[in-house]
Structure 1
Amino acid sequence: MAELQVRPDTTAEAGALDRPPARSPEPPPISEPGPVREAAPDPLRRARALLAAHPVADGFSGLPWALRGLPWYDLELGDSAVDADVPRLRAGGVGAQLWSVHVPDSVPADRVLGATLEQLDLVKHVVAAHSEGLRLARSASEVADARHCGRIAILMGPARAEALGDSLATLRALHALGLCSLTLSGTSWAGPDGLTPFGEEVVRELNRTGVLAELSGASEATAHRVLAVSKAPVLFSRSGARALRDAPGNLPDELLGALGAAKGLCLVPLAAEQTGATIGEVADHIEHVRRLAGPECVGLSGTYDTPSTHPEGLADTSRYPHLVAELVARDWSDDDLARLTWGNVQRALRGADFAARAARERLRRQAGG
């Protein structure tokens, strides 16, 4: 075994022991902790959180007519042939949609009513076949009930006014089948010169039944007269700001102001030809309408499953959070965002119901007198 080697201490250099020992550096002074600053919330995360509480009420979908051209579809599992199915509606924070029962202009006048009835029947069939995700609604309370049950509320309308012909009875029959909105344009009684006396009676009957008057594509004369006659809120379901883009269907500033004074509702479309090719341009239209008509008079209209081209980044209904995130980044308040996505459409539906109840009460009093 090798011997244990012990290393002796090294002799100190001359004078080393005479020097004072080196002092260790003093630690830096401890500063008092300041207030902790929270990181700015991510706009997209905040948008998703807001939509969980206040989902999108989408004011126009062309899905019923798009489905007519498909041999097979399953909206519950997802269908790449359309822009809106249940998974993408949920991903986009959509809580309600108005499904248009418009029929194309190519349908002959004598076939418009029949084709509209077919559209109403198709909507009922589609919703019944996808009852785990969708539920029919026709009022603000039924929309809220559908949401509380975890379903997406589907409202039927608008329909083309040509379906009425000159019959108020037809309007009442369509309402009984569930129609919630009627577009007042393209008829002899709602044309370039405004409403005829019969047209005014149509508006009053809409109020009595609780069907919303919809004015996209109507002449300015018709729009102003409907605003004056109607006791219920009036919709423009696909209208941007003409001051920003001079496109068919967009509204001049003067009409936006009148709409705000009447507490109507302008639903800004996600359509490139009307509101631009980017999310930022769509947001510009939304802000312009809010500034002129008021925060309670602006909403959203996807115009999905229509021939419209959608702005970059808004290809289908799952992309709504990105539009809301753009508005979050522009310092919109939660209250204004909640009105935009959900509250304003609910207000319009409640207004239609209130006008119908008031009309029925007047008729009851007159009958009793």
Structure 2
Amino acid sequence: MADLQDELHATAEVGELDRPDVEREFEPVGPDAGPVLASDADPDADTADDLLARAHALLAAHPVADGYSGLPWALRHLPWYDLELGESTVDTDVPRLREGHVGALFWALHLPEGLVGERAVGATLEQLDLVKTVVEAHPEGLRMTHSAAQATDARNCGRVAVLLGPACAAALDDSLGILRALHALGLRALTLSGASWAGERGLTRFGEEVVREMNRIGVLADLSGASDATVRRALTISKAPVMCTRSAARALRPHPANLPDDVLVELGATKGLCLVPLTAEQTGPSVRDVADHLDHVRELAGPECVGLSGTYDSGAAHPRDLSDASGYPRLVAELLGRGWSEADLALLTWGNVQRVLRTADFTARAARQRREPSTAKIAELDG
């Protein structure tokens, strides 16, 4: 019922903020000239401060749902930390999350390359256990959540909602039973790359069965880093929206994880979500570069299909002024200066992730009425 109520109120949640009227001050410039705005006489006066103040006000009502954090793996290497007090050895802690108005955060369970089979399963379980331990140790700042409704409740209680995922496809060890077990432990997203059934040639028959089972239980497909063939096939067969947790526009920056224009158009048509990363390698060295990618994705996929991915604590370098989780107001101020409406910004920061989470849950409920848990084996379908 909570999910249904949230769905009914979604429009109000991401609607445009009331914007106060701006008083226009006039200065005469000569007997033959008409009046001009005082701000026009000095176009830079207070403009940056005004935009930043508006950004903080908007984010206070519509905080950021950040699509990717590498914090779990980063914390494994620290002997001691206190995220509520502040932790300078990582990019993310509670004070900076609050300063940046982050309301929800996907904590990735990704692993170093080379871990496969039982080692990948074990390492993923260890990361999952670490996340739960960290959240329980910081109850005043963090709260574990598994749905859009729980994320909203956490935000309303002044906590940052932590969502589990994405995990590596290798964590399944080619077993749909392990997929269901990880979901029961809270997994919300799985990256479709790095497995024999999701490679350069696209999804195999078993890979397609993995996607169908993900739809049935409510695990989102993450297509960042997947081959173009896998991306296109997943977009075709998935009944739930897909996410690209770390993908920008390939037309602006030719990074392999970035998406070509035709895929961005198809992503928009299927109501998926492209979460643009705040990394220098994928989007560029400045706030303006990141905003260029957000403009491009919004133009092609639509305002309902673009979001934000800090990608902090992943080992990546970040643009100037976006070095940690506190920098989101500066990015939103840049977008306000470019003419983004407050309604579109509310979708970008919070509303689009909420929609995808809700839709995945609704899709799963419907699918479970039609489909039993899959018992398919990779040897039977791909052997």
TM-score relative to the length of structure 1: 0.87
3-state DSSP of counterpart to 1:42: helix
Corresponding residue to 2:334 among 326, 341, 345: 326
| Distance in 2, Cα, partners of 1:192 & 1:179 | 25
Partner Cα separation in structure 2 for residue 235 and residue 193 of structure 1: 20
1:224 corresponds to 2:232: yes
Alpha-carbon distance in structure 2 between the residues aligned to 1:108 and 1:295: 38
- Corresponding residue of 1:146: 154
Matched, 1:65 2:73: yes
Percent sequence identity is: 68
Letter in 2 for 1:324: V
Residue 185 of structure 2 corresponds to residue 189 of structure 1: no
Instruction: Supply the AA of the counterpart residue of 1:46.
Output: R
What CA distance in whole angstroms lies between the structure 2 residues aligned with 1:296 and 1:195?
27
The yes-or-no answer on 1:88 pairing with 2:96 is yes
Quote the Cα distance in structure 1 between the aligned partners of 2:158 and 2:225: 34
- 1:127 is aligned, of 132, 135, 159, to 135
- Aligned partner of 1:259 in structure 2 is 267
Q: CA RMSD in A?
A: 1.7
Q: Specify the code of the residue in structure 1 equivalent to 2:235.
A: L
Distance in 1, matches of 2:214 and 2:157, equals 29
- Kindly provide the CA deviation profile for residues 56-89 of structure 1, in whole angstroms up to 9, marking residues without a partner as x: 0000000000000001100000010011100000
How far apart, in 1, do the equivalents of 2:140 and 2:53 lie?
Answer: 27
Gaps of 5+ in 2: 1-34, 40-45, 373-383
Q: How does 1:1-369 map to 2 (within 5 A)?
A: 42-363=50-371
Distance 1:305 1:165 in 2: 26
Q: Deviations over 1:176-234 (max 9, x none)?
A: 00000000011111111111111111001001110100011111111111111111110
Which segments of structure 1 move beyond 2 Å, counting only runs of 4 or more?
36-41, 106-110, 361-364
Distance 1:295 1:363 in 2: 33
Task: Return the alpha-carbon distance in structure 2 between the equivalents of residues 241 and 280 of structure 1.
Answer: 14
Task: Name the aligned partner's letter for residue 294 of structure 1.
Answer: G
Distance 1:235 1:337 in 2: 18
CA distance in 1: counterparts of 2:273 and 2:256, whole angstroms: 18
CA distance in 2, matches of 1:171, 1:108: 15
CA distance in 1, matches of 2:115, 2:227: 22
Secondary structure (helix, strand or coil) at the match of 1:289 reads: helix
CA distance in 1, matches of 2:159, 2:254: 38
Deviation of residue 149 (structure 1)? Answer: 1.2
Larger Rg: 1
The alpha-carbon deviation at position 138 of structure 1 amounts to 1.0
Unaligned 5+ segments in structure 1 are: 1-33, 365-369
By how many angstroms is 1:243 displaced?
A: 0.4
What SS is found at the alignment partner of 2:123?
helix
Contact 2:116/2:173, CA 8 A, preserved across alignment: no
Asked whether the equivalents of residues 216 and 371 of structure 2 are also in contact (C-alpha less than 8 Å), the reply is no
One-letter amino acid of the structure 2 residue matched with residue 111 of structure 1: R
* Local SS of the residue matching 2:109: coil
Query: What corresponds to 2:7 in structure 1?
Result: none
In structure 2, C-alpha distance between the alignment counterparts of 1:208 and 1:201, rounded to whole Å: 10
Deviation for aligned residue 1:363: 4.1
- CA–CA distance in structure 2, aligned partners of residues 207 and 347 of structure 1: 15
Q: What is the DSSP-based 3-state SS (H/G/I as helix, E as strand, rest coil) of the residue aligned with 1:216?
A: coil
Distance in 1, Cα, partners of 2:221 & 2:352: 15
In the aligned structure 2, how far is the partner of 1:332 from the partner of 1:116? 39
Would you say the 8 A contact 2:221–2:243 is kept in 1? yes
For this pair of structures, how many residues does the alignment match?
A: 331
